[in-house]
Structure formats: C-alpha cells, structure tokens
Chain A
C-alpha cells in the first residue's frame, strides 16, 4: 500500500518568515495530494490540494508543489502569522472515477510553531 513520509516533525519559524514542509510518497498510482491543518482540539481541515496533472498550486499565502518523477510534494507558507501555528498533515490517495474517494494515507504530521 501507499506510504507517506513527512518532514520535519517540528518546525519553528519567526513570524513573517516562510515555512516549508516536505512529503514523499511511494505509490506511483497516487494522483491526489491534499494538505490538512489540525488545530488543537479539532479535526483536520483541508487547506489546499493538488492533483497529479498539475505541478504547482497557490492560494494566497499557501502554495503546494508536486514532483511526480521524484514522488515528492511540498507545502509552502509565506509571511507566516501566529494563527498558522498548528499541526499540518500531507496525504496521498487515488481518486476513483466511479465516485467516492480512496482512504487517504497521511504523513505523521508537522507541528508548526510561529515565534512572535
């Protein structure tokens, strides 16, 4: 099955600086790569996703890049703010054309700490 590795496990950056979280996956058939943010006491929430036919996607201060050949993808957060402090999870799965979504395989998470 799919295996997703995520690094680093903890990342501390100064407010206003950029943060980068990296993930690798093992299953070349995976074609969907979402990123989830989990705040304390809450369930994970999707912040951005990318499909394998796209190399980069941006949404305001957040961007994700995908390298299919190397089987790795990264989350980039620019101009970090205190509210960006949370645990971030990358994930991978295969989309089914007939409907529904395969169970996502998650990385182990990165605890992002924004230092004031």
Chain B
C-alpha cells in the first residue's frame, strides 16, 4: 500500500459527459501529480501541484483541469469526454522538500467512455 488513495477505482460514462477523479496523497506529501496511462502512449504526465499551487504542466488537454485543495487532496476534472479519453488515470505524491525523488502512486482510476 503506497498510502495514496484514489477514487473511484472504476468509472463508466458516456461521450460528452464530465467526471471528477479524486486523490488523497500520502500523509505529509506536498506534491501531487496526475498521469494518464493508455496502451499506446504509456504513462503521460498531465500536471503537478505543490502545496496548492500549479508547479508543472505536461500534456494536459484544455478539456481537463485539476486543483489541489488546502488539505492537499487533489481533483482531476475531465469534461466533454471523448472515446479516446478512456484510460487509467494515476495520481502520485512526493515529499515536497528533501532530497528523495520517489513518487508514490495510487492504484489508479480506470475511466471508460462509451
């Protein structure tokens, strides 16, 4: 158990809909990261938050947005969903300061868009 909690584990929805994925980082971790994993693209970095502020942005679509709340949990919002958005979405967290670079991944939220 990595200590990172993601909900829901599975989600099935229709094209055009909007969903919210939730992540609770490990206790004490200030950074939260979102990754999208699909069969043909591997693990794609979407966005990183550090202590509530956006820190880095990757290949995140404009239809997607995220935020990190004062209690450090994070939400990834996916809107106007398309079939191609079907994927496994991972949240990871890391210690905000210090020398270790390890990311701790949750077990993912599997999104299926029909």
Contact = CB atoms under 8 A, between A and B. Distances in A.
A36 B67 CA distance: 26
Contacts of B33: 103-104
Interface residues on B, range: 20 to 34
B48 interface: yes
B43 A99 contact: no
B64 interface: no
B101 A95 contact: yes
A20 B43 CA distance: 21
B103 interface: yes
B30 A103 contact: no
B8 to A, nearest CB: 15
Nearest to A42: B107
A101 B31 contact: yes
A93 interface: yes
Interface residues of A, number: 25
Interface in A91-116: 93, 95, 99-109
B94 interface: yes
B55 A100 contact: yes
Given A43-B92, A100-B96, A32 B101 contact: yes
A49 B99 CA distance: 12
A49 B102 contact: yes
A43 B42 contact: no
Interface of B: 2, 4, 30-31, 33, 35, 41-45, 47-48, 50, 55-56, 58, 90, 92, 94, 96-98, 101-103, 105-108
Interface of A: 1, 32, 34, 36, 41-46, 49, 89, 93, 95, 99-109
